[in-house]
């Protein structure tokens, strides 16, 4: 299991607050070993990651690929510097939702044995 200390930044709080206001069902800080995602959207079987300055594009691409391969979990990324300004990412989030909503149930069933906590 992931063993790390989580710091819930202002950017994370802002995104969670907005998603809640928009009626998006979400779980915070969910483990998908060996990783932990910032937000998990169960109805979409997808993750949202808020990328602070410590994030590396190359490392994140590899991580996202592994999450999709092992858990059929697509990842939507929001830059921490844009988290407080949904005009920069809300339309992309809608497109992400539309891309993955039809396959959500099937993707979740592909990994349900590996994710009994969901």
The answer to whether position 91 is within a domain reads yes
The answer to whether position 29 is within a domain reads yes
The answer to whether position 68 is within a domain reads yes
51: β partners: 79
CATH code for position 37: 3.40.960.10
pLDDT tens, position by position, 66-108: 999 999 999 999 999 999 999 999 999 999 999 999 999 999 9
The answer to whether position 27 is within a domain reads yes
The answer to whether position 5 is within a domain reads no
The per-residue pLDDT for 8 is 66
Domain that holds residue 64: 10-114
| C-alpha span between 107 and 69 (Å, rounded) | 10
Query: How many domains does the chain fold into?
Result: 1
The answer to whether position 66 is within a domain reads yes
- Give the rounded percent of residues in the chain with a pLDDT score beyond 90: 75
Q: What is the DSSP letter of 103?
A: G
3-class state of residue 104 by DSSP: helix
The per-residue pLDDT for 116 is 84
The answer to whether position 90 is within a domain reads yes
The answer to whether position 1 is within a domain reads no
DSSP 64-82: HHHHHHHH---EEEEEGGG
In the predicted structure, residue 5 carries a pLDDT above the cut 60: no
Of the candidate ranges 1-10, 23-32, 104-113, the one whose mean pLDDT is the lowest: 1-10
């Amino acid at each position: 299991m992931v063993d790390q200390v989580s710091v819930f930044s202002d950017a994370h709080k802002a995104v969670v607050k907005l998603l809640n206001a928009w009626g998006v069902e979400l779980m915070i800080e969910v483990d998908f070993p060996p990783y932990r995602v910032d937000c998990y959207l169960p109805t979409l079987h997808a993750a949202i990651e808020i990328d602070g300055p410590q994030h590396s594009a190359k490392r994140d691409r590899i991580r996202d690929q592994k999450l999709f391969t092992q858990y059929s979990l697509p990842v939507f990324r929001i830059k921490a510097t844009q988290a407080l300004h949904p005009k920069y990412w809300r339309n992309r989030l809608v497109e992400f939702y539309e891309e993955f909503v039809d396959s959500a149930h099937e993707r979740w069933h592909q990994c349900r044995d590996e994710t009994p906590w969901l």
